[in-house]
Structure 1
Amino acid sequence: MRLKRYINVLILLVLVLVILKFRSQVLNMIKNPSQIRDFLLSYRQYAVFIFLVISTVRSVFLLPAGAFAVISGLTFGNFIGTLLTCVGVTLSGILAYLLSSLLGGEFVENILKDKIYRINKYIKNNGLFYMVSLRLIPIFPFDAVSYASGLLKINFKDFVLGTFLGSIPGAFIYTFLGNSLLDVGSIRFKISLLLVIISSMIPIIYKYVLKKG
């Protein structure tokens, strides 16, 4: 039992060191979606695979999922981009879920603090419904929900299906924005910006309504 604990601590330390070393570099890279698109397309038939690999490890580095959706839309177009974004965020969620369930304990609790207990209230029962709801209305950070779900042992099937289904609207909006970057002066770009603004306001409005009862 003690050996397992030491192994878990060692793995966590390695993860933390990797995150500290590379996170800022990756953040700088994703600030320029066009460079990422050119990088992906340079690998031609492997572009989709590479994008999904990068999307999967995103949750380890706590990188913004929206940025990857924009890159997906810019690189692969609206329809394929939305599908790949949904698959990517689901895979990243699964990785976070597994890391949390296998290595979690006090480490994850210290990261999430009181959020984990508030999240638990939403998804302990009727996991699929609440998982879809939390993805549709992101009142908690995407990765926080994923890590908390693993720590709380939420039903895995509910987690995966809820994450995929709940991520579709947001994935479409941000991939639409990414695809519209090809023509910044177009009506499509203005509509995509409006959709992003509206979607970002939903959690704020939802929290306000909850406070008002």
Structure 2
Amino acid sequence: MKKRNKIIMTLIFWIIIVLILYSMGLLTTDFNKINLIIGDNPIKMRFLFVLFSTVRIAFFIPQTIFTIGGSMVFGPYEGFFLSILSLVISHSILYAIGIFFEKQLLGEGFFEKNKENITVLSKHGYKVLALGVACPVTPSDFMTILAACIKLNYKKSILTVLIASAPMTFLYGFLGNGFKETAIFRIFVAIVIVLVSYYTFRIWNKIKKS
């Protein structure tokens, strides 16, 4: 798919989300109003959140955006579990793409572009998969596809993704919910995220160079 087409599809996706949120009256910073709407349509709202945060993989949108948004709407704890659910579903879809379609759908260019990551993943297995998912600056979605391409076990791969992503998902959730908290709380969570990102990135680079 050409870059221009990807941009157009992404824009269309976001416009659809905005229109749906607008029609529901959720484009507001009034949390009392949001909570009132959610209370009237609890199942529908949660279903839409999981759906959108799963479909995002087709438009190359990071899970982090939905994690923060989910915590703002549903709170940090429920937002966390909904984000984890959508993460498991989306990465299962990505694994299926990698294991069943491979070059037919992804194309030769994908494998050539990610040749280095494939080599590292083949050598270190689940350890690198976990690190790739935990590190915010690495393409975690692509790491799952690559794990499938080199035939890593599905259950172990998804479990690795789940365990590795849970801490950062939890922190991002509190960062989103921090809009209702004190500035000190938001700064603290942001610092923790930066430190975790920094050290996982250093370990990632060290493994790639070894």
The verdict on a shared fold, with TM-score over 0.5 as the criterion, is: yes
- Which SS does the other structure have where 2:27 is aligned? helix
Q: How many residues align?
A: 195
Where structure 2 has 5 or more consecutive residues not aligned to the other structure, the ranges are none
| Residue 35 of structure 1 pairs with residue 27 of structure 2 | yes
CA distance in 2, matches of 1:182, 1:79: 14
Structure 1: distance between partners of 2:52 and 2:109: 26
| Residue 112 to residue 170, structure 1, CA distance change in 2 (3 Å) | farther
Alignment partners' CA distance in 2, 1:54 and 1:129: 29
CA RMSD of aligned residues (A): 3.4
SS at match of 2:89: helix
Contact preservation (8 Å) 2:75, 2:177: yes
Aligned partner of 1:22 among 9, 20, 23: 9
User: Counterparts in 2 of 1:125-204, with a 5 A limit?
Assistant: 127-137=125-135, 140-183=138-181, 185-204=182-201
1:95 is aligned to 93
CA pair 154-170 structure 1, distance change in 2 beyond 3 A: same
SS at match of 2:46: helix
Secondary structure of 1:176 counterpart: helix
Letter in 1 for 2:168: G
CA distance in structure 2 between the aligned counterparts of 1:112 and 1:27, rounded to whole angstroms: 28
**8 Å contact 2:131–2:204 — kept in the other structure?**
no
SS at match of 1:153: coil
Change in CA separation of 1:206 and 1:130 when aligned onto 2, cut-off 3 Å:
closer
Question: Which portions of structure 1, spanning 4 or more consecutive aligned residues, are displaced by more than 6 angstroms?
Answer: none
Bigger drift between 124-133 and 170-179 goes to: 124-133
Shift of 1:176: 0.9
Q: Percent identity?
A: 18
**Contact residue 180 and residue 189 of structure 1 kept, 8 A:** yes
Go from structure 1 to structure 2 and tell me whether the alpha carbon gap of 1:211 and 1:132 turns closer, same or farther (over 3 Å shift): closer
Post-superposition Cα deviations, 1:172-197, rounded to whole Å, max 9, x if no partner, equal 111111111224x4322121221232
Determine the C-alpha separation between the residues in 1 that align with 2:45 and 2:184.
29
Counterpart CA distance in 1 for 2:146 and 2:208 is 23
Could you tell me whether the CA contact under 8 Å between 2:84 and 2:166 is conserved in 1?
yes
Q: Deviations over 1:111-158 (max 9, x none)?
A: 35342x333334436744443333223563111112222332321111
Secondary structure of 1:22's match? Answer: helix
With structure 1 as the length reference, what TM-score do the two structures score? 0.74
- 1:212 shift after superposition: 7.7
My pick for the range that moved more, 123-132 or 61-70, is 123-132
Pairs within 5 Å for 1:74-93: 74-93=72-91
Conservation of the 8 A alpha-carbon contact between 1:136 and 1:170:
yes
SS in 2 for 1:82: helix
Does the aligned pair in 2 maintain the 1:66–1:174 contact within 8 Å? yes
**Structure 2 counterpart SS, 1:35:** coil
> Which consecutive unaligned segments of at least 5 residues does structure 1 have?
1-11
